A and B are shown apart, each in its own frame.
Chain A
Amino acid sequence: DQQVKQNSPSLSVQEGRISILNCDYTNSMFDYFLWYKKYPAEGPTFLISISSIKDKNEDGRFTVFLNKSAKHLSLHIVPSQPGDSAVYFCAASEAGGGADGLTFGKGTHLIIQP
């Protein structure tokens, strides 16, 4: 029973265009959401996060949007660059981002085409 779902296993985007990665969750107790990026043979690296009290957080080329009523968040990357090619994991936690482990989605493999 997946609480965090990333329904697109892969996404192909042309360099310079916008990449939009989507994530849905079912647990209404989640109040902190994160995106991690993972290259092959490396551990995930933190990209950007958002608290449930916000609906948008921006950091350079990366913006995360949160729609609590729809239990949906998305990561926008603009403009997309070749180095953005990686697997992106959406993750969520309860209790203000603290406590226990994160609940991860299965990931979306983003491929940036030249």
Chain B
Amino acid sequence: GAGVSQSPSNKVTEKGKDVELRCDPISGHTALYWYRQSLGQGLEFLIYFQGNSAPDKSGLPSDRFSAERTGGSVSTLTIQRTQQEDSAVYLCASSLARGSEQFFGPGTRLTVL
């Protein structure tokens, strides 16, 4: 595809359930980033991948959050035992290389009831 795509676009889940969010970066982009935007807040950096490895996981808010990237392409962000404070828009971005412009996907709006 031409841009970064994310699925699902919306996800409503019950507290305590696990959720998986998917990101398809732009083909050929080696760097991939996950952010989240809570209501009334700016974008908060979560994790960065260079290829399949994640040299920076410092932004993950707790050990309930994990992410992986396979084949240097698709990435999934998993949130275990979701809490209401996890409700946010989760955005994925990719860039051609470390340091180049980041292109964002439309985001996944997660609502934890």
Chain A interfacial positions (CB closer than 8 Å to B): 4, 6, 34, 36, 41-46, 49, 89, 91, 95-107
Contact = CB atoms under 8 A, between A and B. Distances in A.
B98 A98 contact: yes
A100 B45 contact: yes
Interface of B: 4, 33, 35, 40-48, 55-56, 58-59, 91, 93, 98-107
B99 A101 contact: no
B41 A106 contact: yes
Contact of B104 (A44, A49, A95, A107): A44
Contact of A102 (B45, B55, B58, B106): B45
A106 B33 contact: no
Given A43-B4, A99-B56, A105 B104 contact: no
Nearest to A43: B104
Contact of B106 (A41, A97, A106, A107): A41
B105 A101 contact: no
A45 B4 CA distance: 11
A43 B105 contact: yes
Contacts of B45: 100-104
Contacts of A43: 4, 91, 93, 103-107
Given A41-B106, A104-B45, 10 more contacts: A43-B105, A44-B91, A44-B104, A49-B101, A89-B43, A96-B99, A100-B55, A101-B46, A102-B33, A106-B42
Contacts of B40: 106
B106 A42 contact: yes
30 contacts: A6-B42, A34-B101, A36-B104, A43-B93, A43-B103, A43-B105, A43-B106, A44-B91, A45-B104, A46-B103, A49-B101, A89-B43, A98-B98, A98-B99, A99-B48, A100-B45, A100-B48, A100-B56, A100-B58, A101-B33, A101-B35, A101-B45, A101-B47, A101-B56, A101-B59, A102-B33, A104-B44, A104-B45, A105-B42, A107-B42
